[in-house]
Chains A and B, each alone.
Chain A
Amino acid sequence: MMRQVKHALFPVALVLFAALGPFVLEPYDLVNLSAFSAMAIAALGLAFVWGTLGILNLGHSVFFGLGAYAYAIAVSNLGDSTLAVLIGIAMPVAFSLVLGYFLFFSRLGDVYLGVITLCVTLIFYSFMTSTADPSFHIGPVPLGGFNGITAVPSLNMPGDPQAFLSTEATFSICLLSLAGAYILLSFLRSSDAGRIMTAIRESELRSELLGYDIRFYKLVGFAVSAAIAGLGGALYTAVMGYVSPNVFDLPQASQFVLWVIAGGLGAFVGPVVASFGFQLLSSQLGANQVFNTELIFGATIILFVMLVPQGLQPMLLGLSSLKFPNRFGILRRKEKPA
């Protein structure tokens, strides 16, 4: 009973924040926090696929970016944002199934998997930056090359493209989606399928000998993470009103990885908190121009990987109750030969 209460604490806090935030915060902060939670949703996708299933997906940003672009193109063409968000989820899922087929059915090792996924997102970046020519367009929407797609309509009432939602409503939707993604993934993790996925993370060989098709479970987990990332990307575009090829670039890809490492591999709350923390930090740094963010983030990744390999959440939990064993973390994972 206590455990269920403890698990419910975080989503309840998010829902409360979604309800109360609009009354206390300035619109500027609301927009920022909406964008942060859209990013945090995508980070949850990576926290799931990497932390629970053990798939080292360094190019998680490709799903985020696909969702962002799919939403931008769909909403500009259709007008209705509800359908566009759904398309923003479906596109990355379709892509993840194709990519996942090649990756998991060749049984690639961790190192190969990480490199290929990272290269995929870099190629998307080069492709999107090369679409400046007006001949690249989908419907009336030009892809816009380096500038991306601008003036993307924000969220509107389902079925009524003219009724745009207010900043406050968008804020609530973003936070509620974050809570929803958290609850969905938590349930999935504690379901039967989720337990098999955890088993696959711990030992692929043993799970396979027990008769589970690890390729299938990996593919499904990959698609789920793509769906979550696509939702994050769609909401992010809806909040910001534009999308540029930067959603695919190296700093974006590294941010997701950084948040998950910092928050704790295998945890969900940690990565969300870490994503909010680092985004606040980077918006402060960006405003001050004292240090550039890459320098700080690079140093942070090195420090976390070397000094706190298990991440903040497991570390703090480990401090508060010493009987909590060091179950998570990158160093804990068995190494597979490349």
Chain B
Amino acid sequence: MDSFVILCFAVVNSVALLALISLGLAVIFGMMRVINFAHGEFIMLGGYATVIANHCGVNLWLSMLVVAPMFVALIGAVAERLIVRRLYGHLVTTMLATWGLSLFLIGAVTAIFGNTTMGVSAPLGNIPIGAYSIGAYQLFLIGITALLVVSSLLALHWTKYGLIARAAMQNSEMAATLGINCDRVYAVTFIVGAAISGLAGALLAPISGVLPHMGAAYVARAFVTVISGGGALITGFLSAATILGPVEALLSYFATPVVGQASLLLLAVIILRLLPTGVSSLWTGGR
């Protein structure tokens, strides 16, 4: 019984982790149809911002929930202004440029902080379940991920900005004709996506520690989740995370984490073979 609860927890945790690391990427992809290859490095920078702020005496929660997203949003704004904006419409070129940015950021952080792991200790202690125990912080992570996903859904469907964003996403020319500044919408979306990635990195920092190459551990899963989700902004990647997460969790539990990750990729490739524009094409009609 206890082990069953733990297994269920692992499944939920895995879905939440996938959702957390892909949300920022999904926002940018859904909007601009561009995979931000520097996504992993935005996560990494969020982690570093948290750890550095905390070491400088800022309260841990404050540095996780405020400092890190704001710092990465700033980086995202600079990257958008200098690189991404100049390449709008050139999907492949944008991807390559963000890949260059990704390497550049890894190199810069390595040059400044060195190739060593830094960390903060996970707060909140453990909750015992029979013979096992689970980290309360992980419960907190699941909760905050759910909160993030729900609030982005609400923001997209219930606010004026969400309406404008969806209009620009659906038909940018028509939106521009109606007086919407699409470049600005794209810029804001990119910055919001960066901020969410930064927050994800901040939340992961207590669990995994931070080092310059930490992004690589997450990007493959985030990329796969987002593209097998397809075009629908939030529901797409969420459904992909719900399909892929349990598979990864169960196979990681019964085999090894690497088998879990490999099967996640394999499943995504099979999904794309059957539904080439992602899971969400089932209800958006392949758009």
Contact = CB atoms under 8 A, between A and B. Distances in A.
B103 A338 contact: no
A105 B273 contact: yes
A292 B111 contact: yes
A127 B263 CA distance: 11
A337 B33 contact: yes
Interface stretch (A11-19, A73-81, A295-303): A295-303
Given A110-B91, A115-B35, A306-B97, A298 B227 contact: no
Interface stretch (B49-57, B82-90, B129-137, B165-173): B82-90
A295 B216 contact: no
A173 interface: no
A106 B276 contact: yes
A122 B217 CA distance: 9
Contacts of A261: 96
B164 interface: no
Interface stretch (A87-95, A207-215, A233-241, A327-335): A327-335
Contact of A119 (B93, B104, B257, B265): B265
Nearest to B272: A106
B223 interface: yes
> Which of B92, B216, B265 has the most chain A CB atoms closer than 10 A to its own CB?
B92
Nearest to B107: A295
A206 interface: no
Contact of B223 (A118, A301, A302, A309): A118
B9 interface: no
Nearest to B287: A337
A114 B110 contact: no
A106 B220 CA distance: 20
A119 B227 CA distance: 11
A317 interface: no
Contacts of B269: 102-103, 116
A274 to B, nearest CB: 15
B188 interface: no
Interface string A304-338: 01100100000000000000000000110101011
A195 interface: no
Nearest to A126: B258
A108 B106 CA distance: 30
B90 A294 contact: no
B282 interface: no
Contact of A127 (B93, B99, B107, B262): B262
Nearest to B115: A292
B218 to A, nearest CB: 10
Contacts of A112: 227, 272, 276
Nearest to B97: A305
Contact of A294 (B89, B95, B106, B276): B106
A21 interface: no
B111 A291 contact: yes
A111 interface: yes
Contacts of B220: 118-119, 122-123, 126
A102 B216 contact: no
Contacts of A191: none
B41 to A, nearest CB: 10
A284 interface: no
Interface stretch (A30-38, A151-159, A224-232, A249-257): A249-257
Contacts of A272: none
Contact of A298 (B102, B219, B223, B261): B102
B276 A301 contact: no
A330 B90 contact: yes
Contacts of A251: 103
B256 A130 contact: yes
A296 B104 CA distance: 7
Nearest to B79: A302
A7 interface: no
Given A257-B99, A294-B103, A110 B223 contact: no
A103 to B, nearest CB: 8
Given A291-B111, A294-B110, A295-B111, A301 B103 contact: yes
Contacts of A296: 107
Interface in B31-83: 33-35, 83
A1 B276 CA distance: 47
B163 interface: no
B209 to A, nearest CB: 17
6 contacts: A108-B276, A110-B92, A114-B95, A115-B224, A120-B265, A335-B90
Given A115-B223, A298-B102, A306-B87, 11 more contacts: A120-B265, A126-B262, A130-B257, A291-B107, A298-B104, A301-B99, A302-B83, A305-B100, A330-B93, A335-B92, A338-B91
**Top 9 A-B residue pairs of the complex, sorted by shortest distance between their CB atoms:** A295-B107, A298-B104, A301-B100, A298-B103, A294-B107, A302-B100, A122-B220, A119-B220, A106-B276
